[in-house]
Structure 1
Amino acid sequence: MAIERTFSIIKPNAVAKNVIGNIFARFEAAGFKIVGTKMLHLTVEQARGFYAEHDGKPFFDGLVEFMTSGPIVVSVLEGENAVQRHPRSAGRDQSGKRTGWYSAR
């Protein structure tokens, strides 16, 4: 098994719900090491650049607005097969269905 690093974003809605510690605890319980982390507030330009692959899609402007609506927490996680094992669905579009890693329930 390969030790890898992957990038994680805790989005504004989770930061606003004050569940950062819960999410970090889940990362650690799953065997991830949190190598680095930083809280920041994306500018519109940064969000547009980060999500540029979605430019022109119907949800793009809403995504940029959401990601700039409050602070986010970015982290680098390390662990065995981290890229494959890290959860990939942490967005507003599925918040009504969320369970597990990013659930604030």
Structure 2
Amino acid sequence: LQEKTLLVAKPDAVQRRLLGDIIQRFERRGFKLVAMKMLQADRRLVEQHYEELRLKPLYPALVTYMTSGPVVAMVWEGYNVVRCTRAMVGDSSAVGTIRGDLSVHITRNVVHASDSVETAQREIGFWFQRDELVAWDSRDRDNIYGP
């Protein structure tokens, strides 16, 4: 199933210059980048994005952290991209995953990834206008997915 998902490189990923590594992992997997922008996320955007965590003890620190420096928001497209992205991101101790390989502390976990197709659609709408997503045909699609 062709899907889209949101991936946000958090301030620690930007500061530590990990973007190339993160993007390369997705491109090597055969996923297609359809939107990307660097921004200083404001409090309103971060609060909207993490609304479901509002009552959690970690919420104030999370909002402060996510607004502490630039982030890079990306939309990736591909077959089962949501599930695959979650597996690629992993947790902070899973070797071979983005967080396992690149995180240095559980509170600085490098990226946010949408956890479902429905969540991805909603979150993409927070970070991007519809006309910021670029529809393009990948010439190697048949090599990746078959004819």
TM-score range, shorter chain: 0.7 to 0.9
CA deviation map 1:26-50 (0-9, x unaligned):
0101111111100011111211111
Tell me the distance in 2 between the aligned counterparts of 1:53 and 1:45: 14
- TM-score, structure 2 normalization: 0.62
1:4 aligns with 2:3: yes
Q: Which runs of 4+ in 1 moved over 6 A?
A: none
Aligned CA distance change for structure 1 residues 59 and 89 (closer, same or farther; 3 Å): farther
Q: Write the mapping of 1:18-33 to structure 2, written as runs, cut at 5 A.
A: 18-33=17-32
Tell me the distance in 2 between the aligned counterparts of 1:51 and 1:10: 15
| Bigger-Rg structure (1/2) | 2
Structure with more of its chain in strand, by fraction: 1
- Provide the alpha-carbon RMSD of the alignment: 2.0
Q: Write the mapping of 1:1-105 to structure 2, written as runs, cut at 5 A.
A: 2-87=1-86, 95=92, 97=93, 99=95, 100-102=97-99, 103-104=101-102
What percent of counterpart residues are identical?
36
Q: How many residues align?
A: 100
Higher RCO (C-alpha under 8 Å, 6+ residues apart)? 1
